[in-house]
Amino acid sequence: MSAPDIASDRPPAGALARLAARPAVWASLAFVAALALLPYSAPLFHALFPELPRPLYTRASFLDLALSHAGLVGLASLVVVSLGIAIGIFVTRPAGRDFAGPVDTLTAVGQTFPPTAVLALAVPAIGYGGAPTVIALIVYGLLPVVSATIAGLGAVPAAPVQAADGIGLSPAGRLVKVELPLAAPVILSGIRTSVILNIGTATIGSTVGALTLGSPIIEGLSGSNPAYVLQGALLVGLFAVATDLWFDELERALH
Amino acid sequence: MSLAGEAVVAPAPEAAAPARPRAGVPRANPLLVLIVTGMVVALGSLGFVSVAPNRIVSGKPLALWAAVEPGVAALVAALVVALGASALIRSGVWRDRLIAVLAGALLVASLAAAAHAAGLVAAASGPVARTSLGAAFWIVAAGAAFALADAVGRLAPHPLAQSAIAAAVVGALLALAASGALADLSLAREFANRRAAYGAEMLRHLALVGGALAAALPIGTGLGLLALRRPAWRKPLFAVLNLIQTIPSIAIFGLLIGPLSALSGAFPGLRAFGVGGIGAAPAVIALTLYGLLPVARGAFTGLASVPPAVIDAARGMGLDERQILRRVSIPLALPILVAALRVVVVQLTGLAVVAALIGAGGLGVFIFQGLGQTATDLILLGALSAIALALVFDLVLRSLGALLATGERP
């Protein structure tokens, strides 16, 4: 009798407690707090670096930097995820089997390329700014997603595939209802690698003229202003860690 | 030992390979058709080289037939067409052999053609004029390199054979460079202007990677062993190491500057050892931190893969823990350990590029100088060198892993 009452009472408190116990939530809160408080932190950095005349980065607001950084990575990731999974599916179907070997070679060789070198090569090809950064992020970010999709679909056991054929699913139905769900954890880990890598590469993107959280770091390094470096590094570090921890949550939810 | 082992292993894939195309329906190579189509479109619509009156001004694209003498253009075009035609051959092995030869020839010929174009420009407009490699060149060269790698991958799956073929192609390109034929290309001029600095920065790059490895290998292996022996520590340990990898490299480089300059300020004696805010010390420390996860994970997975029965048997023979590790576990785990080493070396080679931003030197110096001066060919010099270095490490360590695997068999 009272069981339903307890059940209806508990979830909100339990959910809140569970939410509060998640490191992803803490990291995100820390990132948001840093973003909100840094504009008012001039006195703190004056005290920390008394020799610097202007210890707080003001060329662009931290919020703009964060939004631009997240926008570059988000745009690239959107293309990477849709295109990468599509390529991975294509080369594991009968129609695309001829391309499987070469695509495998390409992703294996491509992943040995230094990401910074790929970013730098985008400049002679396209020029300076946000566009070459996004192109480089897409090209480099595709590799882990494609190889993870191929690996994930390749590791699907034969039994459920045969069962799907047995109950009369079409190849497309089998892919959507059986193969992709079973391959999802591996694909997700490929997406995670790609996104985290791209957050780091986008930071270097400020050397090719993109507006990112790396801008204060690069400017601080070239202008000997360690305070700028600290502000940029703090924000981008928290951003990357929070994103990674959310992937942790997503992976756990998938299992 | 290993040579004998190879002789035993080598015939197997060769004998198996011709059977495959015969068993299946013989088909054309659709990817190669796609690549060659791309080359034809690029040669028809984009510049093969780009000619500028001086180093800083951006150049004007010049198509292949406008840039070189008709005979040279015809040779490149003939190789492209022949490569396209070879895609239609139905015998798998002969097709791949022909593709490999044609693609290798096209790679060398396109570079020679670009250099020839640069020579013509230098003769006509004087030594200040700059001839850079154009979009069509890069598409043809990249397509040829990929067709070559793909064909070789099917013909000779063994990393040692691939290393030998890669060495032959690189040797041909280096011979071309050493002959002075490339000297008029803008890329070669950037190199010639910085010959001394190039050697020094290459050594710096290797020293940064080597220094980080020297620290990351023992520490990472120790952490891997710890994870193996204390299961309770496993999860938090790898979570922390993973967190370090998550933080962008430039942020870690930057964050280390403060503490290290404070340290060298408090203990000026440390400066004699190169410890300071800017320079090699923060770079090597950051690279070491990045190297810990792959090393620890490799050591852990490798040692965990040793069957417990083998360890029990060794214990039964009276070996102590240290002897078991040295004489049983490590030799058995060696292929996994070498694979982990390859991952670490390639990753650190790439990350060391960023170290140039904190004054640690390395090949990144050319990239960031080039970006600052909008000197495209300087960017190319640094980026291509960094890529080549990573590829060489990858191939060498892959070959080492294959050698160890064949050495085990008999």
Other Cβ atoms within 10 Å of A70 Cβ, number: 17
CA atoms within 13 A on the CB side of A37: 12
Q: What pLDDT is stored for residue B36 in this prediction?
A: 93
Q: Helix B231-246 crosses helix B195-229 at what angle (to 10 degrees)?
A: 150
> Model confidence over B268-325: pLDDT tens digits?
666 655 555 667 888 999 999 999 999 999 999 999 989 989 989 999 998 988 888 8
Contact check, Cβ <8 Å, B29/A196: no
Written in H, E and C, the secondary structure of chain B is: CHHHHHHHHCHHHHHHCCHHHHHCCCCCCHHHHHHHHHHHHHHHHCCCEEEECCCCCCCEEECHHHHCCHHHHHHHHHHHHHHHHHCCCCCHHHHHHHHHHHHHHHHHHHHHHHHHHHHHHHHHHCCCCEEEECHHHHHHHHHHHHHHHHHHHHHCCCHHHHHHHHHHHHHHHHHHHHCCCCCCEHHHHHHHHCHHHHHHHHHHHHHHHHHHHHHHHHHHHHHHHHHHHCHHHHHHHHHHHHHHHHCCHHHHHHHHHHHHHHHHHHCHHHHHHCCCCCCHHHHHHHHHHHHHHHHHHHHHHHHHCCCHHHHHHHHHCCCCHHHHHHHHHHHHHHHHHHHHHHHHHHHHHHHCCHHHHHCCCCCHHHHHHHHHHCCHHHHHHHHHHHHHHHHHHHHHHHHHHHHHHHHHCC
A124 vs B contacts (CB less than 8 Å): 376, 379-380
Structural domains of chain B, with CATH: 10-181 (no CATH), 195-408 (1.10.3720.10)
pLDDT on residue B255? 83
Q: Look-up: residue for tokens 């391309």?
A: A99
SS in 3 state form for chain A? CHHHHHHHHHHHHHHHHHHHCCHHHHHHHHHHHHHHHHHHCHHHHHHHCCCCCCCCCCCCCHHHHHHHHHHHHHHHHHHHHHHHHHHHHHHCCHHHHHHHHHHHHHHHHHCCCCHHHHHHHHHHHHCCCHHHHHHHHHHHHHHHHHHHHHHHHHCCCHHHHHHHHHCCCCHHHHHHHHHHHHHHHHHHHHHHHHHHHHHHHHHHHHHHCCCCCHHHHHHHHHCCCHHHHHHHHHHHHHHHHHHHHHHHHHHHHHC
CA angle B374/B375/B381 to nearest 5° reads 130
Q: Which two tokens stand for residue B380?
A: 């190319």
What type of residue is B8?
V
The pLDDT of residue A72: 96
Domains of chain A with CATH codes:
23-254 (1.10.3720.10)
User: For A25-34, A75-84, B29-38, which range has the lowest pLDDT when averaged over its residues?
Assistant: B29-38
Predicted confidence at residue B270, as pLDDT, reads: 61
Give the pLDDT confidence score for residue A50 in this predicted structure.
Answer: 84
Put simply, the answer to whether B367 touches A125 (Cβ < 8 Å) is no
- Looking at residue B3, its pLDDT comes to 33
Q: Which residue has the higher pLDDT, B277 or A180?
A: A180
**Six-digit token string for B316:** 């039964």
With an 8 Å Cβ cutoff, are B350 and A105 in contact? Answer: no
Residue A232 has pLDDT above 90, yes or no: yes
ipTM of the complex as predicted = 0.86
The chain-wide mean pLDDT, for chain B, equals 85
- Nearest chain B alpha carbon to A117: B383
**For A113, which of B31, B255, B390 is closest by C-beta distance?**
B390
pLDDT surpassing 90 at residue B111: yes
Question: Closest residue of A to B26, CA-based?
Answer: A98
In the predicted model, what is the mean pLDDT of residues B141-155? 89
CA distances from A152 to A96, A155, B124 (A): 17, 5, 57
Mean pLDDT across B33-42: 93
Q: What is the pLDDT of residues B240-253, one digit of tens each?
A: 999 999 999 999 98
CB atoms within 10 A of CB B179: 11
With an 8 Å Cβ cutoff, are B31 and A102 in contact? yes
Q: Which two tokens stand for residue B330?
A: 């490590």
| CB atoms A232 and B255 under 8 Å | no
Model pLDDT, residue A1:
39
For B354-371, write each residue's pLDDT tens digit: 999 988 889 999 999 999
What integer pLDDT is reported at residue A59 of this predicted model? 87
B386/A contact by beta carbon, under 8 A: yes
Can you tell me the mean pLDDT for B26-31?
70
- For residue B327, is it left (φ>0), alpha (ψ between -120 and 50) or beta? alpha
pLDDT of A64-107, one tens digit each? Answer: 999 999 999 999 999 999 999 999 999 999 888 888 888 888 89
Give the per-residue pLDDT at A96: 86
- Cα A6 to chain centroid distance, Å, stands at 40
pLDDT for the residue numbered B272? 59
Nearest to B114 by CA among B135, B128, B99, B100: B135
Mean pLDDT lowest for which of A30-44, B13-27, B121-135, B261-275?
B13-27
Q: How confident is the model at residue B5, as a pLDDT?
A: 34
pLDDT at A5: 45
Q: Is B394 in CB contact (< 8 Å) with chain A?
A: yes
For residue B18, is pLDDT > 80?
no
B294 close to B337: Cβ distance less than 8 angstroms: no
B1 — pLDDT class (breaks 50, 70, 90): very low
Contact B250 A241 (CB under 8 A): no
Residues in A lying within 8 Å of B, measured between beta carbons: 98-99, 101-102, 105-106, 109, 112-118, 120-121, 123-125, 128, 196, 199-200, 203-204, 207-208, 214, 217-218, 220-221, 226, 229-230, 232-233, 236-237, 240-241, 244
| Token pair belonging to B394 | 């990858």
Residue B375 has pLDDT above 70, yes or no: yes
State yes or no: pLDDT of B27 exceeds 80: no
Of chain A, the end-to-end C-alpha distance in Å amounts to 33
Q: How many residues does chain B have?
A: 410
Q: Tell me: the pLDDT tens digits for A131-148?
A: 999 999 999 999 999 999
Mean pLDDT of A175-197: 94
pLDDT of amino acid B178: 86
pLDDT above 70 coverage of chain B, percent: 89
Mutate to test the interface with B, among A26, A91, A116, A249 (most CBs of B within 10 A): A116
> What's the rounded Cα separation, in Å, for the pair B340 and B299?
8
Tell me the pLDDT tens digit for each residue of B77-100.
999 999 999 988 877 788 888 999
Give the least confident one: A1-5, A78-82, B108-112. Answer: A1-5
